Amino acid sequence: MKSSVKVLLLKKAEKIIAKYKDHPMTEITGTLLPVIINEKLNGYLKEVARYVGVKKNIAFHMSRHTIDSKVILSNGIPIETVSKLLDYSKISPT
């Protein structure tokens, strides 16, 4: 069963979503932003990491852990909300 979560967005995030509102890919996929495959996304992440001097081997899956532990939880968002945002069915993976 899917549940809804209300999230307050920064103005910058709202502008990005508005920018892609009528993008052909978002209309096809029914998503807020164009979706790319993980392999391509991981390639982009590695490119950014090299550009900024990060020597770690990074991948998209790591970003989920970073967003929940470093950004969301450290800003006082309840763990139950984080679990829903990350689409976990239980709190334990969070």
Tens of pLDDT, residues 23-81: 998 888 889 898 888 899 889 989 988 999 988 888 877 766 666 666 677 777 777 77
Q: What is the pLDDT at residue 23?
A: 92
Average pLDDT score over residue span 5-33: 88
Residue 69 confidence (pLDDT)? 65
Q: Which pTM was predicted? A: 0.48
Interval 11-31 mean pLDDT: 91
The sign one gets for the Cα dihedral 85, 86, 91, 94 is: negative
* pLDDT at residue 14 is higher than 80: yes
CA angle 32, 42, 92 (to 5 degrees): 75
